[in-house]
Structure 1
Amino acid sequence: MEILSNQTCEACRVDAPLATAEETASWMTQLTDWQIQSVDNIKRLVKVYKFNNFVDALAFTNQVGELAESLAHHPAILTEWGQVTVSWWTHKIGGLHKNDFICAAKTDSLYPS
């Protein structure tokens, strides 16, 4: 199995297939504490990252923004005191694509351990 965080996103087309149940189950094994949530019947990968203060949360938000811009794939990010919630999904296809799992893994690599 290829490591998600080492992969690159591919340009996504409107007719790109959604991740299958088998693919999703396989890729989820590489992600820690990510949840699949449905919002308006669209599946998203969601994770809450904890911080000691707002400054650290904001710095992480900016790193995720830079990552998203470099990959041309953009999440929803909610920054609050002490936490950042990141949600990845592919807008063009209305659900989860391999790119979302790659981005989630890359987001984890930004989080200070």
Structure 2
Amino acid sequence: MTALNQAHCEACKADAPKVSDAELAVLIKEIPDWNIEVRDGVLQLEKLYAFKNFKQALAFTNSVGEIAEAEGHHPGLLTEWGKVTVTWWSHSVKGLHRNDFIMAARTDQVAKTAEGLK
């Protein structure tokens, strides 16, 4: 199996399967610093990244936006002074798809190269 941060998203339609409980247990181990949040009954992956200032947080946000646009899969991004909250979930399936775990892993990869990560 390809490492999540090297994988690419597949087209996801409303009838695509959400990750099963068994898949969730395996995939979450590959991105251990991410939290599972439930909002309005929808499972989402979320992580807070800390930076030294707003400029570095904004640069990270833009980098995540670039990988999201390239994959056609877009997160929730909350950029504040010194921090960025990234939330992944698949709108079309109203929950978690393997794509979300791929993009969470790729977000971590972007963070490793980001300047100013605390």
Superposition TM-score, scaled by structure 2 size = 0.92
Q: How does 1:1-113 map to 2 (within 5 A)?
A: 1-112=1-112
| Matching residue's letter, 1:26 | V
Sequence identity of aligned pairs in percent? 50
Alignment: residue pair count: 113
The residue matched to 1:85 in structure 2 has which SS?
A: strand
Measured in 1, the distance between the counterparts of 2:42 and 2:32 equals: 21
Give unpaired runs (5+ residues) of structure 2.
114-118
Provide runs of 4+ in structure 1 moved above 4 Å: none
Measured in 2, the distance between the counterparts of 1:32 and 1:109 equals: 14
Measured in 1, the distance between the counterparts of 2:78 and 2:12 equals: 24
The residue matched to 1:56 in structure 2 has which SS?
A: helix
Superposition TM-score, scaled by structure 1 size = 0.96
Which residue does the alignment assign to 2:116?
Answer: none
